[in-house]
Amino acid sequence: MALLVFVGPVPLLPGGCPPALAAHTTSLCIDAPAAAVDARAPPWAPLRSKPRTDERRDADAAAPRRTSFVANAAALVGPAVVRVDVERGEGRPEYSHASGFVYDGSNCLVLTNAHVVQGATRVAVVTAEGDRKDATVLGVDAHTDLAVLKVADARNLPEAELGDDVALRVGDWVVAIGHPIGLDHTVTLGIVSSKGRSIASPVMSRRDDESGARRWADRVRFIQTDAAINPGNSGGPLLDDAGRVIGINTATAMHADGIGFAIPVTVAKRVAADLAAGKRARHAYLGVELSPLTPETRRLVRDEAGDAVKLPDRGALVMRVVPGSPAAAAGLRRHDVLVTVAGAPVRDVATVLVAVEEANVGDSLSLGLRRGGGREQNVAVTTANLDDFSDPLDAPPPAKKPIPAAGRDGVGRLGVGARRSFS
């Protein structure tokens, strides 16, 4: 099982030097003169001592200059990328920094990660031009690990264009820009390794908000990329080859190279619209814990319900129904197997999770289910708002009618909960 770490913010030592750099250099972190370097000298040994001819120099000057989509993307979006400086605590505060980008220049709004500004007592942004300005946190959504900041005393900031991750293909080029380990405006290149990834790791601490509810990262189907994403990159943009933002960098796999994750921009657009308006982001909620149909879960069902129960080849197994939830009101039960959602076949748990996250609060979601090996039946579930349930799995409201007790087999809490591991 791979461990996931949310990349950033980077803690700073006294003097503003990131620990990773302090271990290797002094000239970057201490006000000492660097060794003199002749900027005109090439970093390689010359292949020949004969001077280049005038004809060759003229030919080089006349040749068209090579262009790079990476350089073009970096030049286009670089002015909109900011460093997010965070101060936590009073007396002897802690300092850290991460990344973000301006997505609405006229209103001076910045997108970053929720975990970047968690617990902040003061937030500031540093623009590409080096201007440092205070910022206000307009809102955070821990379910998707997104936050919106408003930059103070600014106007008409350069903004990044938001693209469309839906058309993104596995293998497409992507560019990441951010401030890893204190190296401002670092650009890295990679490809889309996968789409729709689930990472079942906590976004924040176990008890992270005023309701005391746990928040998990698996509200989001992440873009996986091999573009280098390091501490300090959190909140920075992931760009397509045209320089449009298609994701927000948020996490990387520990003890593994080339495995990073970004929140799709389609999710960010929806959440940011609510947060910028001073609202809490709304997420559709069913109230079921789900598990994939594995040999272990099939054996569990046989042990509890008997060998007569025949489970389908594909689907998502209901491990628990939250009392008082929409799923309970619709009559779902433990060991039901969801085989269709919104008319589409359920290939795995992620199929249901995506359908629920894409639904609006109050939508009627059609579920096809198999119960006890019987024929498929259809039920309609009216989704609720996830945040109306203070802790949807641990402390549900009283049930309107008794629901059979279920074991604590799941860890997901997507309003659909999901028991699975990331590997």
Compute the distance between CA of residue 265 and CA of residue 239 in angstroms, rounded to an integer: 10
Q: Which residues form the catalytic set?
A: 115, 145, 234
Q: Which amino acid is at 287?
A: G
Classify 347 in phi/psi space as left (phi over 0), alpha (psi -120 to 50) or beta: alpha
Exposed (0-12), middle (13-18) or buried (19+): which is 91, by Cβ within 10 Å?
Answer: exposed
Distance from the Cα of residue 186 to its chain's centroid: 19
Count CB-CB contacts under 10 A for residue 236: 36
